[in-house]
């Protein structure tokens, strides 16, 4: 029926031209595809070899050029390093720190312009999609800064003889299988990631971008996303989980959501380790102005600030003491920073709404005491172990504001010397008004003292310390303090009151107020605390302040000696009573035996 409309000669000629043109395009496409495939293969291999200075080679099974669709499909691509070239560069101290190996089942390049590549030497691709990519990266610290190469030309200078520029709109990789091998430590560490997505945008290599520092690997932005990452530490004592991690190079920002570090159960952990037990949970951690390229090359972590928001940090002091005493100096922040193998330089670390809990088990009371610091916020300045940065400023300052035991507002400032061989530091601060009975959660199990009443008006401290000792002053202003001294009740697995000792302490020893009377000068305690090697940082601070609190309430060395003497006298009196009781029982038994013998003698044989 359609042919009846082709009545005119010009209509028939037009149809013939269209059919011939379409046929020519199809034939040309087939010819171009067969002609271009080997040219494309040669171009790709030449570009990879030239731009990597012969370090990497690329191979693939086949390539298809679809002119009408403007796309290229390449199958079974393998990018791998040439070990001979790598070893040669190692000898010349020119080998990179990172080696990459990549395998892709299918690579689709869309919105390409083949004629522009052939006639104008411009490689322009709209989008590249990589299907089922498997990426392997191995890291070995061969040098700590960029080496001076014999051929120090930029990538564009190396390809400029064959190409004017390379531009790729988007590079997309989903569900990447990623393996990372780190050879920089004492032993090989292997990490494997799943549920990882990578994308790169606006890759441009030309004369203008060859020195553009705002681009990473010539890309305007590279984004990496990792979901539901879990693993265990090498010791097996901790497991960790990250719900989401996202890196954007254009924003220079790394975001981590829902980070959890969970230790093994207390019975398992303390049976295998003599270290303190930590638990960490963070809603979010954000690293800003993060220099990813520097980290990728040299494991140097450089950023303007790190923001930690909404989380908790719990410490449980290990109750098991090792026969071999190990110095816990690494629990001190300045010593911990110095012990980190990676190069770190963060201008500011911000804490927002954190909850810090310290737990310690007392074998005498058979109970655990707890100190809580709620809604903790603050900042840490100059968080670094970078040698160049430490030459300019070797002090890290931490300022914190928190609520102690959910009640009193505590503000404190720490100054840590990051280069001192004795790990010198200082701290000062003040605690606002609070009811002292809330301290029973800590002082009953740890000090075996119960606060029956008392109001704190102000608690202030100013301490200078190092790894060996702490010195300074402590002042505690309070009213109407009354306490009970406790002892362990092994029968009921509880604590019970020492009646006589408590009465003696409240009447003769304890200072119920400071100052004693209105208008008088308050008592100030000057502390001089000696740290033992097995004492960790938090416990050292707590024990230093406690050594100032005791004399503030009247428990100075003299009164503590009096208490000890009284307790020793009580023990001796108890022993004497027991001895007298045993003697009386022995005499009664002897009298009874004499009576029985006398009866038998009078009765006769």
Q: What was the pLDDT predicted at 30?
A: 47
List pLDDT tens digits, range 432-478. Answer: 999 999 988 988 888 778 888 999 999 999 999 999 999 999 999 99
Q: What is the pLDDT of residue 565?
A: 66
Neighbours of 189 (CB within 10 A): 13
Distance in Å from the first CA to the final CA of the chain: 153
Contacts of 189 (CB under 8 A, 6+ apart): 181, 182, 234
Question: Burial, 226: exposed, middle or buried (Cβ in 10 Å; 0-12, 13-18, 19+)?
Answer: buried
Highest mean pLDDT among 489-493, 518-522, 577-581: 518-522
Which tokens belong to 400? 């914190």
What is the SS3 assignment for 507? helix
Percentage of the chain modeled with pLDDT above 70: 81
- When pLDDT is averaged across residues 365-387 and rounded to a whole number, the result is 93
Least-confidence region, from 193-197, 359-363, 412-416 = 193-197
- What integer pLDDT is reported at residue 577 of this predicted model? 76
What pLDDT, on a 0 to 100 scale, did the predictor assign at position 24?
Answer: 46
Say how far apart CA 196 and CA 183 lie, in whole Å: 23
Nearest to 217 by CA among 184, 171, 256, 152: 171
Torsion angles phi and psi, residue 547, rounded to 5: -70, -15
pLDDT at 491 over 50: yes
Q: What is the token pair recorded at 60?
A: 């693939």
C-alpha 412/C-alpha 460 separation (Å) is: 9
Digit-coded pLDDT (tens) for 458-471 = 999 999 999 999 99
Nearest to 451 by CA among 485, 404, 483: 483
Confidence label for 26 from pLDDT (cuts 50, 70 and 90):
very low
Residue 218 DSSP one-character state = T
Q: What are phi and psi of 555, to 5 degrees?
A: -95, 60
Contact 348, 305 (CB under 8 A): yes
Q: Are strands 122-131 and 71-81 parallel, antiparallel or unpaired?
A: unpaired
Domain ranges, ordered by start, for the chain = 31-229, 233-555
pLDDT tens string 397-407: 999 999 999 99
- What 189-193 contacts at long range (C-beta under 8 Å, 24+ apart), as own/partner pairs, is 189/234, 191/231, 193/226, 193/229
Q: Do 145 and 298 meet the contact criterion of CB atoms below 8 Å apart? A: yes
Are 308 and 351 in contact by the 8 Å Cβ rule? The answer is: yes
């Amino acid at each position: 029926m359609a042919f009846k409309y082709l009545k005119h000669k010009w209509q028939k000629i037009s149809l013939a031209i269209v059919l011939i043109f379409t046929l020519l395009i199809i034939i040309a496409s087939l010819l171009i595809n067969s002609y271009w495939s080997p040219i494309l293969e040669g171009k790709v291999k030449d570009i990879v070899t030239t731009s990597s200075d012969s370090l990497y080679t690329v191979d693939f099974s086949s390539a298809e050029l679809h002119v009408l669709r403007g796309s290229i499909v390449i199958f079974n691509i393998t990018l791998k390093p040439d070990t001979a070239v790598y070893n040669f560069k190692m000898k010349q101290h020119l080998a990179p720190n990172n080696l990459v190996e990549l395998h892709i089942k299918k690579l689709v390049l869309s919105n390409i312009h083949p004629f522009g590549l052939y006639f104008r030497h411009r490689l322009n691709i709209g989008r590249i999609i990589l299907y089922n990519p498997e990426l392997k990266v191995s890291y070995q610290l061969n040098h700590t800064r960029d080496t001076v190469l014999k051929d120090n030309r930029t990538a564009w200078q190396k390809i400029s003889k064959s190409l004017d520029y390379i531009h790729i709109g988007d590079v997309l990789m989903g569900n990447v299988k990623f393996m990372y091998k780190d050879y920089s430590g004492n032993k090989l560490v292997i990490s494997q990631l799943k549920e990882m997505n990578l994308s790169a945008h606006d890759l441009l290599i030309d004369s203008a971008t060859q020195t553009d520092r705002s681009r990473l690997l010539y890309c305007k932005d590279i984004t990496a996303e990792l979901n539901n990452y879990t693993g265990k530490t090498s010791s097996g004592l901790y497991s960790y989980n990250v719900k989401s991690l996202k890196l954007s190079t254009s924003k220079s920002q790394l975001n981590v959501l829902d980070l959890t570090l969970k230790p093994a159960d207390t019975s398992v952990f303390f049976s295998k380790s003599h270290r303190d037990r930590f638990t960490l949970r963070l809603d979010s951690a954000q690293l800003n102005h993060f220099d990813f390229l520097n980290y990728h090359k040299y494991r140097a972590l450089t950023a303007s600030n790190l923001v930690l928001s909404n989380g908790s940090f719990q410490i449980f002091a290990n109750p098991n003491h090792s026969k071999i005493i190990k110095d816990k100096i690494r629990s001190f922040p300045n010593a911990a920073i110095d012990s980190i193998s990676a190069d770190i330089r963060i201008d500011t670390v911000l804490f927002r709404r954190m909850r810090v809990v310290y737990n310690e088990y007392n074998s005498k009371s058979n109970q655990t005491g707890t100190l809580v610091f709620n809604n903790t916020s603050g900042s840490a300045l100059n968080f670094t172990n970078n040698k160049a940065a430490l030459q300019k400023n070797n002090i890290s300052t931490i300022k914190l504001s928190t609520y102690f035991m959910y009640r009193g507002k505590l503000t404190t400032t720490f100054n840590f010397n990051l280069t001192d061989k004795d790990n010198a530091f200082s701290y000062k601060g003040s605690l606002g008004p609070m009811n002292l009975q809330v301290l029973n959660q800590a002082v009953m199990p740890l000090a075996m003292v119960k606060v029956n009443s008392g109001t704190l008006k102000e608690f202030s401290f100013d301490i200078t310390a190092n790894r060996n000792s702490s010195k300074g002053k402590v002042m505690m202003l309070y009213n109407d303090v009354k306490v009970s001294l406790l002892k362990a009740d092994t029968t009921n697995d509880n604590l019970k009151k020492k009646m006589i000792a408590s009465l003696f302490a409240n009447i003769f020893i304890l200072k119920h107020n400071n100052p004693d009377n209105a208008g008088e000068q308050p008592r100030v305690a000057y502390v001089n605390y000696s740290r033992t090697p097995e004492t960790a940082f938090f416990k050292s601070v707590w024990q230093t302040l406690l050594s100032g609190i005791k004399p503030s309430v009247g428990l100075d060395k003299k009164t503590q000696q009096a208490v000890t003497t009284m307790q020793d006298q009580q023990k001796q009196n108890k022993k004497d009573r027991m001895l007298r009781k045993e003697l009386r029982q022995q005499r009664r038994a002897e009298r009874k035996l004499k009576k029985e013998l006398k009866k038998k003698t009078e009765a006769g044989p």
